[in-house]
Amino acid sequence: FTEMLLLVLLVCTIGTTTAQLEWNYNEILNKSILFYEIQRSGRLPANNRIPWRGDSALNDGQDVGHDLSGGWYDAGDHVKFGLPMALATTTLLYGLIEFEQAYRDAGQYDIMLDSVKWSLDYMLKCHTIPGQQFFGQVGDGHVDHSNWGRPEDMTMERPSFQVNTTCGGSEVAGETAAAMAAGSIAFRAVDSAYADTLLTNSRQLYTFANTYRRTYHECIPNVLEFYRSWSGYMDELLWSAAWLYRATNDAQYLTAARSHYQSGHNTEYSWDNKWVGGYLLMWQLTGEEQYSRDFQGFMNRWLPGGGITYTPGGLAWHQRWGVLRYNAHTCFLGLVAAKLGLNEGAYRIWAAGQIDYILGDNPRGSSYVCGFGNNPPVRPHHSSTSCPPRPATCGWDDFHSPDPNPHTLWGALVGGPDENDAFQDLRNDYVKNEVTTEYNSGFQSAIAGLKYFENRPLP
């Protein structure tokens, strides 16, 4: 499509190119960052802003003789899954790099650096033997999911799972390399020594991922039922090589990225599938038409008339499990492309409309972001916020309680509605009402993009 045709399609679908709802993007950015603070594992800092959270899982890694404390709990549970944590970190950093001014204008720049450093520091800990060993998961998903309670109260064993030169894990190592390369860019101006450390580890992990190619769930079988790699590892190799080229301007990484490149993957951007992120980044780095064409093919599929199903209320509906995260990710990538001058008007209008739906402009008139807007979810599938204040005990009775969660899960994006715009705020619905660090990463970055464009007229 040309941009003019895209705009015509959007005008016919949405009805106007000028009307845009007014949201407090500063508030949303602040609350989304608070969500990541709620998810923190390890020893909390003195400036912890979540009064009901405390230190937890301080002994992570003791089974293997390493300190693997820190990082983020994945979702409503307390496992530290390395692949989605790394993708969330990369996506947040991509948004920070592209829309830095939005974070500064919102007064969130310094605290955002602090936010992503929490996961980056953990990933550095997990890289225990340079280029040879990386711990891609802490906690047994099956054991963890049989418990319900506070992370501070955990007593179960939390095994550490590794990939190494004997049994590799290209997805988790590659995505972590991408996150660290992006982190080195974000921190270069404020802490060059830390940026250098990230870049050194990124190079080593990329080489490891590329040299010892193996699908990571073959070597961390515990992850199979939770974050199995469906798309393989070539997307992570492309993604990490491209990020390393951006961070270093070293031509070997551009050559490597070209060798990993595959067209035709135009379904989604997610913890599993980074192809379209690679398309956009390669176009951004080279300006070559092939990459622009492939990225536009992805966006065309998502825009009205392109193949994605739309709900009666106007939500692009990709699939039932965590549908809103796919929208938010796509909105974010579209806004990056718009900033770079690619179909700016069309992508901005579409992204604003989808985010409007998430924030409350939908048939239910309700927000899908906890602690924000009208009638937001108050019973998300999230164990620690469902627990009463201490010293009361917490367990499955709290899971089954019909009452709202005693603590607000600030800024968290829930899974979202069904294909008919229906949604029930039920704690036991982990498909529509759970939250994850991945879900919020594209959402927060899209909000930063909309904040960036807030006072910029459409072309």
228 pLDDT higher than 50: yes
For residue range 191-212, what is the model confidence (pLDDT) as tens digits? 999 999 999 999 999 999 999 9
Catalytic option among 114, 153, 191, 425: 425
Residue 173 inside a domain? The answer is yes
pLDDT bucket at 16, cuts 50 / 70 / 90 = very low
Q: Is 250 annotated in the active site? A: no
| pLDDT score of 21 | 77
Nearest to 178 by CA among 160, 196, 194, 201: 201
* CATH value at residue 313: 1.50.10.10
Residue 46 inside a domain? The answer is yes
**Mean per-residue pLDDT, 61-85:** 99
Based on the structure, what is the number of domains in the chain? 1
Residue 299 inside a domain? The answer is yes
Give the DSSP per-residue string, 92-128.
HHHHHHHTHHHHHHTT-HHHHHHHHHHHHHHHHHH--
Residue 311 inside a domain? The answer is yes
pTM: 0.96
Nearest to 186 by CA among 241, 246, 235, 250: 246
Angstrom distance (rounded) from CA 194 to CA 120: 10
Q: Domain limits at 217?
A: 3-453
**Mean per-residue pLDDT, 119-131:** 99
For residue range 318-351, what is the model confidence (pLDDT) as tens digits? 999 999 999 999 999 999 999 999 999 999 999 9
Residue 458 inside a domain? The answer is no
pLDDT bucket at 8, cuts 50 / 70 / 90 = low
Angstrom distance (rounded) from CA 28 to CA 448: 9
Helix runs in 63-212, H state only: 82-98, 100-105, 109-126, 141-145, 170-187, 192-211
| pLDDT score of 321 | 96
Q: What is the rounded average pLDDT for all residues in the chain? A: 96
**Mean per-residue pLDDT, 259-271:** 96
| pLDDT score of 13 | 53
15 pLDDT higher than 50: no
11 pLDDT higher than 80: no
Q: Is 55 annotated in the active site? A: no
Residue 153 inside a domain? The answer is yes
5 pLDDT higher than 80: no
12 pLDDT higher than 60: no
Residue 72 inside a domain? The answer is yes
| pLDDT score of 1 | 52
Residue 345 inside a domain? The answer is yes
280 pLDDT higher than 70: yes
pLDDT bucket at 17, cuts 50 / 70 / 90 = very low
